[in-house]
Amino acid sequence: MKVVVIGGGAWGLPTAAELASRGHSVHLVDRYGIGNALASSSGPSRIWRIGDPDPRRVRLGRRGIAALERLQGFADAPLFRRQGMLWRHPESAAQLVRSARAEALDFELVAAERVPGIFPGLRDDGRDAVLLPDAGTLVADRVLETQLARFRAAGGRLSTGRYALSVERRPTSPRIRFADGTHDDADAIVIAAGPGAKQLLESLDLPAPLHTHLEQVVHFPTAPEVDGDALPVLFDGPRGEEPGIYAMPSLGVGYKIGLDGPLRAHSHDDTDRTPSAERTELLRARVARDFGALVPEPLDAQVCSWTDTPDGDFVLDAVGDGIVIGCGDVGEGFKYSALMGLVLADFVDGLPQDDDVLAYGIRRFGPAAAQHDFSEATRIGQHADRAASSGASHSHDLRGRRDHGADADPR
């Protein structure tokens, strides 16, 4: 089968590699090139975790790390590290714990005064936390390099510098039209174009309630006596008007910290990735106040994009006529990268999907979704709010359950 994959990022590249490994003739098209600075998938590190307030995400997380372990067999160096994750946000931690228990996932409840012992130097701000052992850092650039090597070894063809404008349904085969006036026909087309997906979905008259944000991260050095690569990853949730942050080691680079909120909106032709001095200073001040193991002197700053959906969930579907879509990473797509290659390839091959994947179909969006207000972006832990609105209570008292040895055993 001839397959064209649009987008060589965290979902498109693994899909192309998997399809080529299955014997298909695969043409991967990316406008700017693999791992380029304008892509959602650029940069040295990402967080991986299995725990999530949404039980579906827990199940996908388990499958994701299994797929990553399979990919490790193709790599010469480690693709991920397991440092654990500290989740300090009581408002979503209650549902996180319920979800972990329901899915038999290991966790530990951490009283506020014990937080600096789990994360050296992290300020005790009076909030209890949850430790997720099955979490850590992805070596993101190495993951992409490994998938690209797989793709090339299987005979895949990569084209860069071509901008896909539209996808057309045709009686014989779908067609992609490019900005240079050329087109490609194929037996199947996979749309995994990140910020460019909205325009392609609209060309197919599909609901396209996608909105792309830009976000900024900053690396900081660790104190000389601290092994920065061994520090846990962190979600330090919002407190009142102060936004939350997420953070992780970038192996050999520094400790990366980002604000859990967009820098600004993004459009498909926006190539400005200039970091905001104001955002850098905001993060520097947080490091100086809260992170005793870090030196509050920024090493660098990076701006990247991510694509949001109205419900904060992915879009994964086969929409007929040989067209498959994988978009709406909602800022959390890379941790499922290896899995998405398998899922989207299975859609192309017409293989059955389970209910966890089928729940992300594009048909869940009605006409009203096109009018969604994206000024309030999806944030980490959002699915705990959704669980509450569907009847779950947030009355779970973390302070009343400090016997972390007992609670570490999943139930």
Average pLDDT score over residue span 161-187: 95
Percent of the chain with pLDDT over 70: 92
Give how far Cα 383 sits from Cα of 107, 229, 346, Å: 18, 29, 27
Percent of the chain having pLDDT more than 90? 80
What is the average pLDDT score of the chain?
Answer: 91
C-alpha dihedral sign at 294, 106, 384, 397: negative
Please say if the pLDDT value at position 385 is more than 70.
Answer: no
Confidence check: pLDDT of 403 > 70 = no
pLDDT-derived band at 389 (thresholds 50, 70, 90) equals low
Is 3.50.50.60 the CATH classification of the domain at 2-389?
yes
**Residue holding tokens 């329901």?**
102
- DSSP annotation of 351 reads -
Instruction: Give pLDDT, residue 236.
Output: 97
- H or E segment to which residue 231 belongs: none
Given a contact cutoff of 8 angstroms between Cβ atoms, the answer to whether 98 and 92 are in contact is no
Return d(Cα 202, Cα 205) in angstroms, integer.
5
At 172, list the tokens.
Answer: 């014989």
Residue 205 has pLDDT above 90, yes or no: yes
The answer to whether the beta carbons of residues 28 and 157 sit under 8 Å apart is: yes
Distances (CA, A) of 401 to 96, 108, 125, 130, 407: 14, 10, 18, 11, 8
Mean pLDDT value of segment 188-210: 93
**What pLDDT sits at residue 291?**
98
Q: Residues 285-315: pLDDT tens digits?
A: 999 999 999 999 999 999 999 899 999 999 9
**Interatomic CA distance for residues 299 and 283, integer angstroms:** 12
Position 138 scores a pLDDT of 97
pLDDT of residue 266: 87
- Looking at per-residue confidence, does 35 or 108 come out higher? 108
115: its two tokens = 């937080």
Q: Model pTM greater than 0.85?
A: yes
With a cut of 90, say whether residue 259 has pLDDT above it: yes
143 SS3 class:
helix
Q: Is the pLDDT of residue 3 over 70?
A: yes
CA distances from 30 to 89, 91, 190, 196, 284 (A): 38, 40, 12, 10, 35
Is the pLDDT confidence value at 47 over 90?
yes
Which pLDDT score is estimated for 386? 57
Question: Where in the chain are the domains?
Answer: 2-389
Q: Which residue has the tokens 């989207």?
A: 344
| Range with the poorest average pLDDT among 74-83, 104-113, 268-277 | 268-277
Q: What is the mean pLDDT of residues 197-203?
A: 94
DSSP letter (8 states) at residue 242: B
